[in-house]
Structure 1
């Protein structure tokens, strides 16, 4: 193995041109064993997770009410005497306009059942995941058929809309009702999976505190047959809803005004790009920390059932209920907006591809699934990396030579454009980008702390080579 002057190493290859299978060193196994135990609380411990589990649903309701019933303005009690009437008004909107009615149950449950059925029966690309320390470094196989499932869903929705069986405009018109049902699913599945996992004795990395363990999760890789529930939920539910919510908004605009605004078209493009990227790059997901380390608890379950689809899409909800003159831009502004989105998407897509395929290379995988679009520079040939004493390799090439999290930077810029598409009409659609940067910073602190424990001095060496956490030259 050749090493250059700054401690970076080129990829070892066997005679057939493939990388050897990853095998952790003895030191690596000891560090993995340490990391695979609960040692300290995150998210503020039990009280912190209770605050998140109660506070976030309340915040979702509040922002939705302000957006739809108060012209997008952040309302509040005008005096101490107004607190009770204000709360009663808020509660009245929830009870009437966000009740978990039969329609919402049928639509949301129908989506879940349909997506599970498609995931079960559709053909798929079988992808080997990374070795899982919790399973004695066993690798799991993942059936990647999201592309087939997503586009089958789109065709189905088109047929239902044009035949009048299910009009797309009904989705955004029933936003509040669907959001409540999604929250119920989030809470129900999170608590249900906790009790089921404990009852079957499959829990891992437990703290012993009930509510905290529900929040973080008890199981690692729950499956129904060939369907990995954690990966299924990450792709099939939230981003499908986000995309169809945008399409619903576009259909409603067309019915009301006879045209679709560039702003709504922007959101249809932005949400399609994200959904399609998750589907066409699904085989990269098994290589992520979410799959081989993060447990399946409230943190992930509620967020994918309700958080993402009903708090990231506020710009569409606003446009679906307000006159387009409130957020009309000049042509150069639209060009800049679309250009920023596509540039950020390119960096996000290719950086994710580079990292995931580098991990595949360490497993000896050198042929990759071809789905649309395959962008230039998505795969690195003979990339530089740092070989760690653990046995893992830290990529220092491609976009990853400039920043430790280039994908996060690009992802956040895309989230910002989802608010910029509204301009200054209302601050609420910017919630996504503000909340997202908070999540990313917290996620990075967790990730970097874990990497420091896992790799020790090798992590310090890596940080000396890739100096910036996010934006090159700035931070």
Structure 2
């Protein structure tokens, strides 16, 4: 029994030691420390040598219970340890040799199942670092590949956007070209006026000849249609440098007055493309400034009567200047865009377009030539010529006749009215439809100023003494004509600007498909062109100041009447094409064209 107790104690002590030591397998110890299998370090351990249980008890080598220890049976390393095989106590122990449990130990037959996890050895750590490094390189390579792909995608999108923009621009240009071609077709003049090409050639010859004949027909000795005009044989009458200098200098003075930054800026009527041109309306200021210059010149004794003396030479110089300008404007119009061409002068015939005007509104910087010629060069030149006739008549011993003073005042008020209401001219047919060609340049430089002043020229060369009561009747007729002229024009201009204005609410109108309204009440209920009626009445009053001694002064009202009748016909044809059935309703509502109950 004492022996069995000692064996039990030894087993419990060995179990306590095995529990107190770190749990490491023998395989780990053998792999980490090679000296454990070869050196009897266990017997040399100080802790074991001092232990009394192990040194003094001989039963340790003979104890059969050691073979049943689970730790020893399961450890293959302890079975192979040389220190234990060589121990005499273990070899000679009969219990060990005869123990059947050692041969049937499952730990020896299945050692792999008892093998615990081993910590990674240094080569394994290096390989893991290499693996992690290679994975980082792979990720970096993938990132670079992704950047390349992203860059290529961005470049592709940019290229596609650029291509899209180019395609859109090309498409817009193609549409613009198509639009221009369509506009060319739409704005192509289909109907020719004045007898077509043959007719305009005739007028280009006949109009200058008419002005020259009438001026030369009215001389001091006689002034009638049967008088043979005197044709100057001296070339100085035709090529007078002083006359040319006066014409060109007068042109630049008025052009300067037109572009100085004084006066309000007004928007014109909408054009075909929807845009509006801007005009500087300072015509009345130019009128006042011109009168001041003339008064200063009279005070400084400038020889303005030279205009009367060189009237034929000035007329020739103005004609040549108008022809040169017409050629320049036609060459300029050939380079103008399709939308800038005049609807009445785009036939393709050089002669016809040259006469009617190929471009609608030619400009040079801020200077609009059509407005400048139609109002400044024509009307102000006409006014100055009349004033020069007054100065010439005042040099005679009898002084200036009252009839000449009256007609000069009448025509001066007409010019002042036109320049005061300059912006109203922007709604006329001249601005909206007619081009700027030979008809405009010659008409405003020669025909209007020299032919419209025929009454003054007649009264200078042939004195007419009219009673004051006749002059009073003529003045009354002039006032009536002016009231009709100005009242109808003002009503039309105000209605065109805003037909829904409160002051226009009492006026009746007819709507049209173009968006405009046709006025059928007020002055415009009397006839379709009441302003033309007032213009003709004023023209008659001017000629009445010359009496009935000659038919030459009455050429102006006759010409104005025929011209306005033809103009009304042209305007009616344009309105018929533009308004269609609305124009027919308007014609039924307003039956008379110019003269109420007559025409």
Answer yes or no: is the 8 Å Cα contact 2:455–2:546 preserved in 1: yes
Partner of 1:383: 507
Out of 561, 569, 585, which is 1:461 matched to? 585
- TM-score, reference length from structure 1: 0.82
Tell me the residue number matched to 2:213: 62
- Equivalent residue in structure 1 for 2:259, among 120, 127, 138: 120
Change (3 A) 1:286 1:412: same
Q: Distance in 2 between matches of 1:208 and 1:36?
A: 12
Maintained 8 Å contact 1:127/1:286 = no
Q: Tell me if the contact between 1:239 and 1:271 (Cα under 8 Å) persists in the aligned partners.
A: no
Q: Give the structure 2 partner of residue 17 of structure 1.
A: none
Partner Cα distance (1:332, 1:414) in 2:
18
Distance apart, 1:456 and its partner CA: 1.1
CA distance in 2 between partners of 1:359 and 1:33 (Å): 28
2:470 aligns with: 333
Which of 272, 288, 298 lines up with 1:151 in the alignment?
288
Could you say which residue in structure 1 is the equivalent of 2:23? none
| Residue matched to 2:306 | 170
Task: State which of 247, 252, 257 in structure 1 corresponds to 2:387.
Answer: 247
Q: Which secondary structure state, in structure 2, belongs to the residue aligned with residue 143 of structure 1?
A: strand
Range that drifts further, 447-456 or 380-389? 380-389
Q: Distance in 2 between matches of 1:214 and 1:66?
A: 30
Structure showing greater Rg? 2
TM-score, L = length of structure 2: 0.66
Aligned in 2, Cα 1:145/1:343: closer, same or farther, shift over 3 Å?
same
User: Does the CA contact (< 8 Å) of 1:182 and 1:306 recur in 2?
Assistant: yes
Deviations 1:109-141 (A, max 9, x none): 1111011001111411111111112xx121111
Give 1:73 deviation, angstroms. 2.1
1:288 aligns with 2:428: yes
Equivalent residue number for residue 407 of structure 1: 531
Counterparts of 1:197-212 in structure 2 under 5 Å? 197-201=333-337, 204=341, 205=343, 206-212=346-352
Q: SS where residue 68 of structure 1 aligns?
A: coil
- Using the TM superposition, give the Cα deviation of residue 398 of structure 1 relative to its aligned residue in structure 2, in angstroms: 2.0
**Number of corresponding residues:** 414
Q: Which has the higher contact order (CA 8 A, sep 6+)?
A: 1
Where 2:266 maps in the other structure, the secondary structure is: strand
Q: Is the Cα contact below 8 Å between 1:287 and 1:360 reproduced in 2?
A: no
How far residue 381 of structure 1 moved from its aligned partner, in angstroms, is 5.4
Q: Is the 8 A contact 1:337 1:417 kept in 2?
A: yes
Could you tell me how far 1:69 is from its partner in structure 2? 5.6
The answer on whether the counterparts of 1:97 and 1:176 sit within 8 Å (CA) in structure 2 is no
| Structure 2 counterpart of 1:431 | 555
In 2 relative to 1, CA 402–259 (structure 1 residues): closer, same or farther, beyond 3 Å?
A: same
2:127 alignment counterpart: none
Which is worse superposed, 284-293 or 32-41? 32-41
In the alignment, the residues of structure 2 paired with residue 228 and residue 276 of structure 1 have an alpha-carbon distance, to the nearest angstrom, of 20
Residue in structure 2 matched with residue 277 of structure 1 by the alignment: 417
Given that 1:311 and 1:432 are in contact with CA atoms closer than 8 Å, whether structure 2 keeps it comes out as: yes
Q: List alignment gaps of at least 5 residues for structure 2.
A: 1-182
Q: Deviations over 1:403-448 (max 9, x none)?
A: 1000101101111222211112221111111111111111111111
- Give the equivalent residue in structure 2 for 1:110: 249
Q: CA deviation at 1:37?
A: 2.6
State the Cα deviation string for residues 140-194 of structure 1 (Å, max 9, x = none): 1111000111111110111112102x23322222211111111112211112100
Moved runs in structure 1, 4+ residues, more than 6 A? Answer: 32-35
Q: What RMSD in Å do the two structures reach over aligned CA positions? A: 2.3
Give 1:394's aligned residue: 518
Task: Name the CA distance, whole Å, in 1 between partners of 2:215 and 2:457.
Answer: 9
Q: Per-residue deviation at 1:285?
A: 1.2
- In the TM superposition, what is the alpha-carbon distance from 1:360 to its structure 2 partner? 1.3
Tell me the CA shift for residue 49 of structure 1: 0.4
CA distance in 2, matches of 1:235, 1:145: 11
Aligned to 1:217: 357
1:96 deviates by 5.5
Aligned 8 A contact 2:220 2:461 in 1: no
Q: How far apart, in 1, do the equivalents of 2:224 and 2:512 lie? A: 52
**Contact in 1 for aligned 2:305/2:391 (Cα 8 Å):** yes
Partners of 1:437 and 1:331 in 2: CA distance: 28
Counterpart of 1:80 in structure 2 is none
1:256-284, Cα deviation, whole Å (9 max, x unpaired): 13532211111211111111011100011
Residue aligning to 1:130: 269
Counterpart selection for 1:304 from 429, 444, 453: 444
Distance 1:471 1:397 in 2: 16
Who is 1:440 aligned against?
564
Deviation (angstroms), 1:455:
1.0
Alignment check: 8 A CA contact 2:527 2:590 kept: yes
Q: How far apart are 1:332 and its partner, in Å?
A: 1.8
